[in-house]
Chain A
Amino acid sequence: MDVHDLTPAYALDALDAPERESYEAHLGHCERCREELAELSEAAAALAWAVDAPAPPDRLRARILQEAGAGRENVVPLRARRAWQGVAAVAACAAVGLGIWGATLSHSLDRERARASALAIVADPTARRADLSGGRGVVAVARDGRGVLVVRELPAAPAGKTYEAWVIPQGGRAVPAGTFAGGTSTAVVPLAARVTQGAVVAATIERTGGVAQPTSRPVLSART
């Protein structure tokens, strides 16, 4: 038996214990297998994402963090955030008292509505999709040209700056399509400009408030 042959099965965890052991011993001195395994393992792990399953119960997260905290010395614990939440709550009450609430509310309702329709486009199987280069994420465009930018793990924009999205039609100038902050695990950004076939969707870092034309190189982009 050629032990090199075991790479795909090892990547899929489809070896029995003795085969697994001998393959792991072999791996220590076979660069070719290590490289091939790295590639095939990425493909195998992608299969994990195809499963349609419910979310784990919240207690699982708590159990894991509790065990992690108990099992090791010098653990840097989860930071207490209550103090800040308290401040935010007080600020919210003060805003209501000052009559600011009405304006904020209608604004946030608009935002919520835009977000809901953005999520609907992402879920729409007939929407066309394009992967972002430069970042992890995609652009989804509904058949009527309404587009959504979905970005993962985007660092927060630097102080005084914002991300600004652009739609650049083929042969045309960049059209501003909204600003967003980053710093969340997933940012779902409804695009304020229609995305025509073949248009490029991009984002740049601009000063807070946004600008009319991009002033820097895109940090991420996709051709739709």
Chain B
Amino acid sequence: MTRELAHLSDEALVALAARSEQTALAELYDRYGRPAYGLALRILRDEALAEDAVQDGFMAVWKTAARFAPERGKASTWILTIVHRRAVDVVRREQRRRADSLDVAPEQGGGAADDEAWLRLQRERVQAALRQLPDQQREALELAYYGGFTQSELAERLGQPIGTIKSRMFMGLARLRELLGDLAMEKTWTSTT
């Protein structure tokens, strides 16, 4: 399939989506639909619920694109945050949360081989950074982000004071950010033409 907007930055695509360019929404979905769905599925463990969360999330992107503020962060962060919020709200409502790790679904194709290669690189990189975190910090991040637990629930579950949980989450995120600091995907393309 031809992706005529494939060369545009995420932020430019969001600006086009704000002007009701459907092609821009399609391109954003082609870039972030896959990680968004993987995330929703990891949290919800149900394909239909995950699809609904991603659909709701992308509709929110489409409807609120005009309010996206590039100086506040990257468009990819904004999109994944929206989908994450949808999935967490559903998992709490449905009481579906489980802390056990997901049975890893076999890797399936679906995207172009080049995009698959890129996804794999990103996955390895973030997984490697996660492995470098102290166990307790990693546990706090994973239970909160993938499990949908609130910090109070985590405190209770892990038998720790809430202050300890807060500090593990803060340290974990700060360290993760440091480890991923030079992450290629953080950098914006600087045009040279």
A residues within 8 Å of B by Cβ? 5, 7-9, 11-16, 19, 34, 38-57, 60-61, 63-65, 67-69, 71-72, 74-79, 81, 115, 119, 122-123, 125, 129, 131-138, 140, 150, 152-156, 158, 182-188, 205, 217, 219
Q: Are B2 and A81 in contact (CB under 8 A)?
A: yes
Interface SS majority for chain B: helix
Min C-beta distance of B13 to chain A, whole Å = 10
A-B contact pairs, 8 of them (CB 8 A): A40-B177, A44-B173, A47-B145, A136-B189, A153-B6, A153-B189, A155-B7, A185-B3
The answer, among B6, B170, B180, B187, for a CB contact under 8 Å with A8, is B170
**Across-interface contacts of A74 in B (CB, < 8 A):** 20
Instruction: Tell me if B29 counts as interface (CB < 8 A to partner A).
Output: yes
Check: B26 CB closer than 8 A to any chain A CB.
yes
Find A12's partner among B9, B35, B144, B187 (CB 8 Å cutoff): B144
Bound CA span A119–B114, Å: 8
Residues of A within 8 A of B129 (CB): 46
* Total chain B interface residues with beta-carbon distance under 8 A: 104
Q: Which residues of B contact A8 (CB under 8 A)?
A: 166, 169-170, 172-173
C-alpha gap A16/B144 in the complex (Å): 12
Task: Enumerate chain B residues within 8 angstroms of A184, measured Cβ to Cβ.
Answer: 3, 6-7, 114
**B117 partner, pick from A45, A68, A155, A188, beta carbons under 8 A:** A188
CB-defined interface of B89-106 with A at 8 Å, one 1/0 digit per residue?
000000000000010111
- Docked complex: B119-169 residues within 8 A CB-CB of A: 119-127, 129-130, 141-142, 144-146, 148-152, 154, 166, 169
Residues of B close to A182: CB separation below 8 A: 7
Instruction: Pick from B35, B36, B109, B114 the residue with the most CB of A within 10 Å.
Output: B114
B7 touches A156 (CB 8 A): yes
Main SS at interface, chain A: mixed
| A135 contact from B8, B31, B110, B189, Cβ within 8 A | B189
Q: For the complex, what is the distance from the CA of A129 to the CA of B121, rounded to whole Å?
A: 9
The 7 closest A-B CB pairs, nearest first, are A55-B110, A53-B38, A56-B37, A14-B144, A43-B177, A186-B114, A50-B126
Docked pose: A74 CA to B129 CA in angstroms: 44
Distance of A15 Cα from B144 Cα, bound (Å):
9
C-alpha gap A49/B122 in the complex (Å): 6
With contacts A48-B83, A68-B59 known, what are 20 further pairs, Cβ within 8 A? A8-B170, A13-B85, A40-B173, A42-B177, A47-B130, A48-B84, A50-B127, A51-B42, A52-B105, A55-B37, A55-B109, A64-B55, A68-B62, A71-B63, A77-B22, A119-B113, A134-B187, A135-B184, A153-B7, A155-B189
Give Cα A41 to B125, complex, Å.
17
How far does the Cβ of B61 sit from chain A's closest Cβ, in whole Å? 9
A51-B42, A122-B121 are known contacts. Are A65 and B152 too (CB-CB below 8 A)?
A: no
Query: Given the complex, which residues of A lie within 8 Å of B72, measured CB to CB?
Result: 34, 38
Given the complex, which residues of A lie within 8 Å of B144, measured CB to CB?
Answer: 9, 12-14
Contact between A67 and B55, CB atoms less than 8 A apart: yes
Separation of A188 and B102 alpha carbons in the complex (Å): 31
A84–B24 Cα distance when bound, in Å, is 20
Q: Which B residues are CB-close (under 8 A) to A12? A: 141, 144-145, 169, 173
Instruction: Please tell me if the beta carbons of A9 and B177 are within 8 angstroms of each other in the complex.
Output: no
Asked if A78 contacts B22 (CB within 8 A), the reply is: yes
Residues from chain A with Cβ under 8 Å of B9 in the complex: 153
A51 and B38 contact, Cβ closer than 8 Å, known pairs A63-B55, A76-B20: yes
Cβ-neighbour of B23 out of A15, A46, A78 (below 8 A): A78
Q: Choose from A9, A43, A57, A75 the contact partner of B51 (Cβ within 8 Å).
A: A57
- Asked if A14 meets B169 with Cβ closer than 8 Å, knowing A55-B110, A71-B59, A76-B22, the reply is yes
Q: Scoring B residues 168 to 191 as 1 if CB is less than 8 Å from chain A, else 0, what string do you get? A: 011011101100101111111111
